[in-house]
Amino acid sequence: MATGTVLAKLDTKVGSTGTPNGLATPAAVDLDADGIIDYVYAGDLQGNMWKFDVRDASASNWKVAYTTTDASNNTIPAPLYTAKDTNGNAQPITSRPQVGFGPGGAGMIVLFGTGKFIESTDRTVDTTNPRPQSLYGIFDANSGTNTDMVTSVTSRTATSQSLQVQSIIAEQSVSINCLDSSGNATTCAYNVRAVSHNIVDVTTKHGWYLDLLKPPTPTYEGERSVNDPVLRNGKIIFTTTIPDPDVCAYGGRSWVMEMDAMSGGQLGYSPFDLNNDKNFGSADMVTVTLADGSTVTVPASGLQSTGGLLTKPGIVASTDSEYAISPDTSGGLEEHRQNPGPGATGRQSWRQIR
């Protein structure tokens, strides 16, 4: 850092002139909390999530953590996972992943979304040739062997190394009795989403995924995840992008999605203070209609933006809640009071004196 000297160049050996590639922003992980980076994760334009092992004291021994063999039986670098849609199309990764401890504190979970919004053609939503994007949580057992890799092509349906599917089960407008900024009773309108809450069996599943498709009939709208996610107290926060092809518009619209980080499913509590009473309870739940016509009352898992596209939110903590604040493409700031989650407030630690 002091001199700019290159310590190492780690080549994934993926990409060419015909199929160009590029890594997105990396996430550095100090797993043993000794102040020295142990691993680095980064995604690329071809959907690969790479893990780099930089534990050795000599930079010459740093390497891509996993390997495989090519058709000529040569050893080549291999990703932890390659994100592909149900038709086998690679899903580009253009944002920085978030990394947390894995199930039961073992290993790690790598959380990321897919999609890109870089080229002018990315504004075009081709509904005749849909290429849906997804949100992922991939478990890395970190055993130091190639068995940690998740089989990319078959992982969505295979009986081993499979991922647990979650889905957007409802998307609709709701009205809630709430308080205005002066504390007077009024009605608040929101566009909300609910996601499934399927249980992840960590003995057979290697993570989860959620396709960004509008219910009730899964519909492709060009939605993607191009901003860095935020990991807070067991929940993962994504902002998604749905582009507007009109160059005179605000760019499109976004959703703020908040789910359980370990499962990708809905949280067990309302993440949003929808009635503006500075508390989080049953009054913040939403009643939504499912594909079969039945209704359920659940925590909202997503809120739609009101001023165009959103960036990654900044999180400001207060004594009993948090505020997620995101600039939008209309020139404003969107603020959501949100639940910090169980155990996030009150005494966090103590010193015992004898």
Q: What is the DSSP string of 273-336?
A: -TT-SS--SGGG-EEEE-TTS-EEEE---EEE-SSS-B-PPEEEE-SS-EEEEEEBTTS-EEEE
- Cα gap 235→137, rounded to integer Å: 12
Q: What is the pLDDT of residue 246?
A: 75
pLDDT at 5 (0 to 100): 95
SS3 content of the chain, % helix, strand, coil (to 5): 5, 40, 55
Give the mean pLDDT per block of 10 residues along the chain (354 residues).
94 91 96 95 97 96 94 92 91 97 94 94 89 96 90 60 90 94 93 96 91 95 96 95 80 94 96 92 94 95 93 87 90 90 71 86
pLDDT digits (tens, 9 = 90+) for 196-240: 999 999 888 999 999 999 999 999 999 999 999 999 999 999 999
Query: What pLDDT does 346 receive?
Result: 62
pLDDT at residue number 153: 56
Task: Write the CB contacts of 196 (distance below 8 Å, at least 6 apart in sequence).
Answer: 165, 166, 167, 169, 265, 266
* pTM for the full predicted model: 0.93
d(CA 234, CA 236): 7
Distance CA 315, CA 332 (A): 17
What residues have CB less than 8 Å from 2, skipping those under 6 apart? Answer: none
Cβ-proximal residues to 247 (8 Å cutoff; 6+ apart), any chain: 123
